[in-house]
Amino acid sequence: MVAIAFGFRHNDTLLHQLDARIKLAGLVAVSILTINANMSALVLAFFTALFLLALGKCSPLRCLFGMKWYLVLLACVLLTRTLTTPGDLLIESSWFPATRQGVFIGLLFAGRLLVIALFALLVTFTTRPSHIRSAVAWFLRPIPGIPHRQVATMIGLLVRFIPVILTQSAELDLALRARSIDNRRNPLRRLTFLGMPLLRRTFVTADRLASAMEARCYGLHGTTHQWQVTARDWSALGFLSLFCFLLVALP
């Protein structure tokens, strides 16, 4: 289920049909604006991301479940900011110095990271990795001194590797449960049993991929995607501009 949430799935939706360059530019713009967004703008961006995920036929609950460990990390960030930010104490206790200002700042910081992750997940779910690679190459081509094809190829391989790594992690987790290793009380011990085999399988898969690309004489002069901008894409660009304006204008 985790790999399904983080990989491309073909579908006949409006988001799947949009130009990859617009989706990639939208992701960059929203990410930059979200870094400095306030709470009202974050709420708007969060529900917009959930709506777009549902529009792309990707269950928001499945996506949040697939990001469960990322949510645990955000919870740790929230707890850390709550306990380390000075301000008005919520509880008169020396061992738990939680403050109202810390809760607000922690929610703001965690919300920004969550919104960026949701929009990135939306792009990877509705865009083919080959289109992402071509869009990155198209954006980097005018910049001198940057090997745009190499960078685009690396990003395309990274997008393809995320579902593979998650699938291997799920397979190893099932194997450990079948051997009752997950019942060990020491969490570091369980992490060692899962982390080391996962790293090994990841490096082996990457090495096999490199060997396969070399055997097929893979070069940097492959075919490029032929872009065709339609009225639907221009409309999406207009809605994206309006959404970015709202993120900046909301108090």
Give just the sign of the alpha carbon dihedral 107, 112, 117, 123.
positive
39-55 and 20-35 helices cross at what angle (nearest 10)? 160
The rounded radius of gyration (Å) of the Cα atoms in the chain is 21
Q: How far apart are CA 81 and CA 106, in angstroms?
A: 5
The residue-averaged pLDDT of 108-133 equals 89
Mean pLDDT of 238-244: 93
Query: Can you tell me the distance from the alpha carbon of 151 to that of 221, in angstroms, rounded to the nearest whole number?
Result: 14
150-171 CB burial, b ≥16 within 10 A, e <16:
ebbbebbeebbeebbbbebbee
- Counting residues of the chain whose pLDDT is more than 70, the rounded percentage is 89
1 — pLDDT class (breaks 50, 70, 90): very low
3-state secondary structure of 99: strand
Average pLDDT (221-249) is 84
Quick check: 107 pLDDT over 80?
yes
What pLDDT shows up at residue 189? 66
Contact 99, 85 (CB under 8 A): yes
**DSSP annotation of 172:** H
99 φ, ψ (degrees, to nearest 5)? -120, 155
